[in-house]
Structures are given as C-alpha cells and as structure tokens.
Amino acid sequence: MARHVSRRAALGGLAATGVFGAARAAGFYEGKTLSIICGYNAGGGVDLGTRLIAEHIGAFIPGNPKIVVQAMEGAGGLVAANHLAAKAAPDGLTLAVPGRGWLLKPWLGFSNARFDPLKLVYVGSTGATNVVAFVNAATGVRSAADLKAAKRKILFGGLPSATMNTAVPRLLAQVGWPVEVVAGYENTSRIVLAMEQNELDAIYTPESSFVRRRDLLDGGKVIPVFQTVPLLPGLPAAESLVEPENRPLMALAHDQASVGMPLVAPPGTPADRVEILRAAFMAMTGTTDYREHARRIEEPFDAPIPGADLERKVRELMGYITPENVAAYGKL
C-alpha cells in the first residue's frame, strides 16, 4: 500500500512539473520492456545493487514497463559501458549499471575504455560508496597499523581492470607497505571465497560486498581495517595512511566513490524520456519498500544522487585529471 500511495504522489508530481509534456512521451513505456545491463555477474555487490533498482523503479515509470536485468560482465564494467555508448539504442529502453571504478577510465588513458563520460546520460545513483579494506583474521592483522607492520606480504584480491579495488592497495605497496595485489578475479564474491579458502588475505571493496557473507564479519573471520571516508567508528580514512605528496593520487583512486554506482543511459537518449527516468528513480528512493530492501543488502539509501547532480559531479571529477596524476595512476 505504501508503494501504491508513493507512486500516485510521484506521478502526480511529474505531471505537475510538465514531464509528461507530450502524450507520446507519457505512453511510451506502456507494454514495453526496459533492460538494465549489469557490468558484473551474479553474486556480487554490483549485481545486488542493479537488481535493487530493477525491482523497484518500474512502479514509478508511467506505463509500468517490464524491467529485466542483463549481465554483461568484463573488464571491471568497461564491457557494459562500451556497449551502452556504442551499441545500445538511445531510446530509453536500455540502461546500465556498469559498476564502480569504470567511469574515469577514458580520462586515465585506458585504451579499452571507448566511451566519453561527458556524453553518457546520468539517471541517478543510490549514493556515495564507502570502500573498506577487509583482512582475513588468520593473518593476525587487526588494524591499519598491524597491516603496515605485517611480517609478510598481505595478498589483496583484485579485479581484472584497475579500480579502487586494486589501485589503493598498490599505492600502499608503492609507499612501502607489505601489500601485494593478485588481480584477475571476475568479481568481489569470488575474491571473498578465495579469502575464505585462505588463498587471499584481503580485499578493498564496498561494504555491501559482504552482505551475503555476514557470517565472515559477525564471526570475526574478516576484520575491517581502513575505509574511504570516516563513516565506520574507529577506522582511519585511506588518505590518512599516506604522506601528503601521495594524497592527490589516493584521491584520484577514490574519485568515483563520490558518485557511487551510477545508473546511466546511452548518449542521445531523448530528453523527455530521461526526465521520466530521473524522476522515477528519485521517487523510488523515497519509498519504504526500497529503503528497507537497500538496508538489507547494505546499499546506500540515505542520500541518493539525482541525475542532474551526477552530471555535474562528473564534470567536477574531470577537473582532477592532470597529466601527472594520470601518469602516476597508470603505474599502479
């Protein structure tokens, strides 16, 4: 019932602001299927976050289209982002959640990133991401200080493409910490499994990555030791772990955390459909059903980011890209 009331209120607000300007736009989604491409396979935090949106957004789109999730994993979200930019029809029926850490790749010199972040259409984000370093308790590491003083190299699992997941541990290794990254894992759930089997020692990943393995956290088998921003009591922020001269590079590695996990549409998507999707996204994030679901999977929900604000944030991020930082980041 709460969802039904919220939907009527949302649709009334949309009509009042003129989003339905043309009858053609208002009825476009009726009887159609909207696909949301997920840049990772099932089981990880990106998949859970994508399905969160897919389950709830349809009720707020006029015409109540069917929503389906399509997995398109590869290259840390770049396969999905490239497909969206180059192959997906810009008709408002294909969206994507490529993941985290993919957005700045074209500006960082990655040749396999074939899209322009400024041309993508931003629908919304569930919120900024807090990324946390989790270490297997069997290593004896209980804090960031313990990690820095470890007697052997602590092995962090990494994804195939350079992201916060790999860049931050490599930066710590570069400044002398006993850390090494073993990259190439397809998603975070497989890294967590490798940690459980003692093949790896640690992972730097969004908090939500452990939502299906709370047993590891609650049982003390995995210990959080530092984080992107000081949200969890007692854990230092990653930037505080390096000297001032290395903090711009650390900030660059974390830049996309401020936009979380964006829901995006292809370049050239009609403006009237974009407005419908953006309004539906924000209406969805205010409902009790959505917020309770997000809480269960530990996805951010208190401060969703509207599409227009996301677009501005992306333009701001571009300002942090300097030749010096890009060159240094490329070595991580």
pLDDT digits (tens, 9 = 90+) for 124-152: 999 988 899 999 999 999 999 999 999 99
Claim to verify: residue 178 and residue 209 sit in the same structural domain: yes
Q: How confident is the model at residue 194 (pLDDT cuts 50, 70, 90)?
A: very high
The predicted pLDDT at position 195 comes to: 94
Q: How confident is the model at residue 163 (pLDDT cuts 50, 70, 90)?
A: confident
- Average pLDDT in the chain: 89
Comparison of pLDDT for 323 and 5, the residue scoring more: 323
Q: How confident is the model at residue 57 (pLDDT cuts 50, 70, 90)?
A: very high
Q: Which residue has the tokens 């972040």?
A: 117
Claim to verify: residue 67 and residue 83 sit in the same structural domain: yes
Q: Kindly state the average pLDDT of the residues 219-236.
A: 92
Claim to verify: residue 105 and residue 203 sit in the same structural domain: no
Q: Give the start-end residues of each E strand in the chain.
A: 33-38, 66-71, 94-97, 121-125, 131-136, 154-157, 179-182, 202-206, 222-227, 263-265, 305-306
CATH of the domain at 188: 3.40.190.10
For the ranges 56-60, 103-107, 199-203, 309-313, the lowest mean pLDDT is seen at 103-107
Q: Residues near 231 by Cβ (< 8 Å), separated by ≥ 6?
A: 130
Q: Kindly state the average pLDDT of the residues 23-48.
A: 87
CB distance 265 to 271 below 8 Å = no
Q: Kindly state the average pLDDT of the residues 107-123.
A: 94
CATH of the domain at 116: 3.40.190.150
Answer with the one of 234, 255, 276 that is the final residue of a domain.
255
Number of domains observed in the structure of the chain: 2
Sign of CA dihedral 78, 112, 278, 230: positive
Q: How confident is the model at residue 23 (pLDDT cuts 50, 70, 90)?
A: low
Q: Kindly state the average pLDDT of the residues 258-271.
A: 96
Claim to verify: residue 141 and residue 188 sit in the same structural domain: yes
d(CA 294, CA 299): 5
Q: Count the alpha carbons within 13 Å of 8 in the hemisphere toward its beta carbon.
A: 4
Claim to verify: residue 243 and residue 274 sit in the same structural domain: no
Q: Residues near 184 by Cβ (< 8 Å), separated by ≥ 6?
A: 158, 159, 160
Claim to verify: residue 25 and residue 94 sit in the same structural domain: yes
Question: Is residue 218 exposed (0-12), middle (13-18) or buried (19+ Cβ within 10 Å)?
Answer: exposed
Order of strands, edge to edge, in the sheet holding 121-125? 66-71, 33-38, 94-97, 263-265, 121-125, 305-306
CB crowding 16-25: b at 16 or more within 10 Å, else e? eeebbeeeeb
Q: How confident is the model at residue 164 (pLDDT cuts 50, 70, 90)?
A: confident
Q: How confident is the model at residue 11 (pLDDT cuts 50, 70, 90)?
A: very low
Claim to verify: residue 70 and residue 168 sit in the same structural domain: no
- Show the domain range for 211: 131-255
Claim to verify: residue 34 and residue 122 sit in the same structural domain: yes
The predicted pLDDT at position 20 comes to: 44
Q: Count the alpha carbons within 13 Å of 249 in the hemisphere toward its beta carbon.
A: 24
Give the CA distances from residue 198 to residues 101, 155, 202, 206, 332, in Å, rounded to whole numbers and listed in that order.
26, 10, 10, 21, 25
pLDDT digits (tens, 9 = 90+) for 274-323: 999 999 999 999 999 999 999 998 899 999 999 999 999 999 888 778 88
Q: What are phi and psi of 247, to 5 degrees?
A: -70, -35
d(CA 317, CA 152): 36
DSSP 278-296: HHHHHHHHTSHHHHHHHHH
Order of strands, edge to edge, in the sheet holding 202-206? 179-182, 154-157, 202-206, 131-136, 222-227
d(CA 82, CA 117): 11
Q: Kindly state the average pLDDT of the residues 244-257.
A: 84
Given a cut of 80, is residue 161 above it in pLDDT? Answer: no
Claim to verify: residue 123 and residue 207 sit in the same structural domain: no
Claim to verify: residue 121 and residue 267 sit in the same structural domain: yes
The whole-angstrom distance between residue 193's C-alpha and the CA centroid of its chain comes to: 21
